[in-house]
Amino acid sequence: MAALVLLNWTANSIPLLVFTRLAGKRIGFWENFFVMTAGMLGNYLPMSLGTIVRMRFFKNVVGMDYSAFVGIMMARTMLLALIASFFCCLGLVGLKLGGYSVPVAVYCLFAGVFIAALAAFFFPVAKISVRNRFLQGRLEKLTQAHRTMRQTPKALLTVLGCILCQEIFFSLRLYISFTAFGVAAPIWLYLIVGPASSVLTFVTVTPGNLGVREWVIGVLAASTGFNFQAGFFASTLDRGVMLGLTFVLGGIGMVHALRRSAQGTRIPAREAGAGE
């Protein structure tokens, strides 16, 4: 399971690496990976400090504007919602065909998320403009990742592929956890509970959404005809493995990110237009 967590994190880290390089900035694969783990560790602290640590690192070291960084995270979140909700809809259809009863509200929820994410992807952000020159500049940086993504099919496919792998690895982790608790569930359930927890925990309720993700998976398991306790405790087992790796690798990443941010040494940007 630990290997799947690491594979999941690797797939999770690559989209930011792709967007960063498309913006003409440089950051190494491993440095990006460990800064991500630093962010994950920091998110278990109050005020979601992990996000602040990552933003500060990319500002001071990589030379990326805060608005551009937030725009990248928004674009990635949109694509994550698109892929995750598609998996959920596929899993729900599979359960229905398998004779399982699923509330209509659950279908509507994930279909709504899919439609909203698809609409956001095709939204013409390039046509948005404001009269204030400062705000217009911020807006352009905020939507840069969205525009670049649509203009660069190869990068878009790379990011979508990484998110797809991320959801598959997470579903496999939950399969192992459910099996450990003696729960024999169809593959369709794992196509729902893993991706759904990604969609439903965008808003941070507790540090690292500790307990929230487990509750969501338990509720989804119960709403699709399985046991709430099995879903909750299976997710807790997965969380335990993930926490161990987070504190070890995240600790290393946090030390590195804080030290490099304090130094303020920028990684040289590529020549303008490179990689576009």
- Supply 69's token pair: 């960084």
At 267, the amino acid letter reads I
- Supply 51's token pair: 């996000």
pLDDT of residue 193: 86
Task: Work out the pLDDT band at 275, boundaries 50, 70, 90.
Answer: very low
Over residues 72-96, the mean pLDDT reads 91
pLDDT exceeds 90 at position 104: no
Give the separation between CA 215 and CA 235, rounded to whole angstroms.
9
Over residues 148-177, the mean pLDDT reads 91
| Residue 271 burial by Cβ neighbours in a 10 Å radius (0-12, 13-18, 19+) | exposed
Over residues 75-104, the mean pLDDT reads 88
* Number of structural domains the chain divides into: 1
In a domain, 56, yes or no: yes
In a domain, 156, yes or no: yes
In a domain, 251, yes or no: yes
Give the separation between CA 166 and CA 191, rounded to whole angstroms.
12
pLDDT exceeds 80 at position 253: yes
pLDDT of residue 124: 82
Over residues 185-209, the mean pLDDT reads 78
Question: Which range among 5-9, 142-146, 193-197 has the greatest average pLDDT?
Answer: 5-9
Q: Which residues of 221-240 are buried (b: 16+ CB within 10 A; e: fewer)?
A: bebbebbeebbbbbbbbbbe
In a domain, 89, yes or no: yes
- Supply 152's token pair: 């660069």
In a domain, 134, yes or no: yes
In a domain, 20, yes or no: yes
68, 23 Cβ separation under 8 angstroms: yes
In a domain, 137, yes or no: yes
Domain limits for position 149: 2-166+245-263
pLDDT exceeds 80 at position 123: yes
In a domain, 27, yes or no: yes
Orientation of helix 153-180 relative to helix 2-22, angle to 10°: 160
Which is higher by pLDDT, 238 or 207?
A: 238
